[in-house]
Amino acid sequence: MSDDNLVTQDSEKPRRSGRAGGRAARVALRAAPLAEDLRPVRAGLPGGKFNPLSEADMKRIHEAALQALEEIGLSQAPASGIEAMTKAGAILGDDGRIRFPRALVEDMLSKAAKDITLHARDPKHDLHLTGTNVHFGTAGAAVHIVDIKTNEYRESTSKDLLEAARLAQHLDNIHFLQRPMVCRDIIDNFEMDLNTIYACCSGTTKHIGTSFSDPSHVEGCFDLIHMIAGGEDKWRERPFISNSNCFVVPPMKFAEESCIAMEHCIRGGMPVLLLSAGQAGATAPAPIALTIVQAVAECLAGVVYVNSIKPGHPAIFGTWPFVSDLRTGAMSGGSAEQALLTAGCAQMHRFYGLPGGAAAGISDSKLPDMQAGWEQGITNTLAGLSGLNMVYESVGMHASLLGFCLESMVLGDDILGQVLRCVRGIDVNEDSVSIEAMKAVCIDGPGHYLGSEQTLKLMQTEYIYPTLGNRMSPKEWEEAEKPQLLEKAIERKNEILHKAGNMIDPEIDRAIRAKFNIHCA
């Protein structure tokens, strides 16, 4: 219903005049930047209002996970990991599997870091992983870019990664950047790892997540990281990159090379994401609850691993299981089951009081279409409402993680704005339920709330408005020459990239380029 339909015909002329002033005031208010604490949505809003698991359910999952660790254990740990974990109290069996007594797990949980902060190079982007604080970001390591002009997939490049980082820097509802794609234009794997870090840091000052294709690359990459930080001491004070580490190969096996890379990262002061990414019905059990059990068991093993090396080292409990379409075995990351699985994992993070991360926002659609919209909207909303600290893969991911779309990343920022508004919930306080505003309008006023003091005061702090989403009437839409959503996304992407610059100091950048083979122009 338009504003004109909210006033009576008898008072149409004088109220049009009043509304013109009200519209001007609203436009002026919308143009003025809000202080961070007044914004209707922002990083770290507390969620936790959606709980698919009861307290009894969580205890049963916990008990089953402990039983799995004691009776099944994990195989294929590297020698260094075996030494650290058995010294802490794990048991190496004749079958080569490491089993974890309940008392050991409970002891390591008591030592594990809680309420951690993932630093950014710009402190205003620091992520405080405490309680049910929610943060959305990228991830996924796609091998293709979705070209929405041609509707084709091509191999992703270091330039694409740099552009994704630059978009993340300027999209308010994307709070961190974990490598969303692979630099397929770089053949040498060490150079690929280096350039991944460089492209991300060049594009954004928000927190970054990366991984290493080989443990031997970690030391050289730390040389680059120390240069960007301004020295190893400054890096260790505020580590702005975390290691996304698939330390397990589900079901219940350690990934030897990833574990060794993780050990190097721990000693280098880098926070780690303990990532367990089984697929229900394939590398994880078909029941959603048992899938959570396996992911929890694997991540608890990771907690023991990390804290046996360095007690209290910052680690994210990354129960990150996916869902299969059991008709074909294909991943279905945009499904309702995925949304429930992620929300259930978020509850288990809270059960242990550990900072947690999982996946949402993945689309199985190949393009940013209606299917992508509902898949991203539903899974991100449930993840946010469940109080998941780190929501990975929340924007841009298509074809069940095989493709990344820059325009979809821009559109996803709008989706996340609406999701965060749902996470924030309804403010019920003395002011918000006072009937004085109703009295002023109904008894002494114009009979509507348009332009009222309360409406103007709350229009920016209570409501969020889409940047690209179209709320025009059909008539206004026609007069504006029928703008299309994807066309607007392309425009905004190009506007951001046009103004984006290098976020690394020029002198440091020259030194980096003199020392390393940097592929980004």
b (16+ CB within 10 A) / e for 451-475? bbebbbebebeeebeebbeeeeeee
Do 141 and 182 contact (CB within 8 A), yes or no?
yes
pLDDT at residue 8, rounded to an integer: 37
pLDDT at residue 62, rounded to an integer: 98
Give dist(CA 371, CA 369) in Å, integer.
5
**Residue 116 phi, psi dihedral angles, 5° rounding:** -90, 160
Segment 299-303 long-range contacts (CB within 8 Å, at least 24 positions apart): 299/274, 300/65, 300/66, 300/69, 300/100, 300/105, 300/109, 301/69, 301/74, 301/98, 301/100, 301/248, 301/254, 302/247, 302/248, 302/274, 302/276, 303/105, 303/108, 303/109, 303/112, 303/274, 303/354
Rg (CA), the chain: 25
Look at strands 397-398 and 403-404 and give their pairing: antiparallel
**99: three-class secondary structure by DSSP:** strand
CA angle 105, 307, 296 (to 5 degrees): 45
Residue of 347, 361, 362, 340 whose CA lies nearest to 287: 340
pLDDT at residue 27, rounded to an integer: 57
Look at strands 357-359 and 152-155 and give their pairing: unpaired
Q: Which two tokens stand for residue 513?
A: 């380029």
Over residues 479-504, the pLDDT tens digits come to 999 999 999 999 999 999 999 999 99
Give the helix ranges, DSSP H, for 49-99: 55-71, 79-88
Give dist(CA 232, CA 227) in Å, integer.
8
pLDDT at residue 6, rounded to an integer: 38
Residue type for position 102: R
Look at strands 98-99 and 91-92 and give their pairing: antiparallel
Ranges of residues in the chain whose predicted pLDDT is under 70:
1-33
46's enclosing H/E stretch is strand 45-46
Other beta carbons less than 10 A from residue 152's beta carbon:
11
Handedness of CA 118, 376, 192, 274 (dihedral sign): positive
pLDDT at residue 16, rounded to an integer: 41
pTM passes above 0.85: yes
List the domains of the chain with CATH numbers: 79-424 (3.20.20.480)
Concatenated DSSP letters of 469-503? -----HHHHHHTT---HHHHHHHHHHHHHHH----
Angle at which helix 158-170 crosses helix 189-203, to 10 degrees, equals 20
Over residues 52-90, the pLDDT tens digits come to 999 999 999 999 999 999 999 999 999 999 999 999 999
pLDDT at residue 20, rounded to an integer: 47
Concatenated DSSP letters of 362-431? ---SSSSSHHHHHHHHHHHHHHHHTT-SEEET-SSEEGGGTEE-HHHHHHHHHHHHHHHHHHH----STT
